[in-house]
């Protein structure tokens, strides 16, 4: 879409509505491309793995604390 539309946009007239539309349209197109590249590269995948490791560690701590409290209450 960018390759088709970019040559047809008029960015030569200087400040004005047409120029503003062209700039905003190009920025939006590049933003969409960047978002797709971000997803393809998998930047969020690494963050998700780290968060999952933290969740597992917290769950293990909670289970250990709960089992210790259960033992103490059973011994009383």
pTM reported for the whole predicted model: 0.51
For residues 7 and 22, is the Cβ–Cβ distance under 8 A?
no
Q: Which of 40, 11, 39 is nearest to 25 (CA)?
A: 11
pLDDT along the chain (76 residues), means of 10: 76 78 88 89 79 93 88 76
- Please return the burial class of 18, using the count of CB atoms within 10 Å of its CB with bins 0-12, 13-18 and 19+: middle
Domain locations in the chain as residue ranges: 1-41, 42-76
pLDDT of residue 52: 92
pLDDT of residue 55: 94
């Amino acid at each position: 879409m960018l390759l088709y539309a970019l040559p047809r946009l008029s960015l030569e007239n200087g400040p004005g509505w047409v120029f503003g539309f062209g700039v905003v349209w190009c920025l939006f197109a590049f933003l969409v491309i960047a978002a797709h590249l971000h997803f393809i590269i998998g930047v969020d995948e690494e963050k998700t793995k780290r968060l999952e490791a933290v969740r597992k560690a917290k769950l293990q701590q909670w289970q250990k604390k709960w089992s210790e409290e259960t033992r103490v209450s059973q011994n009383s």
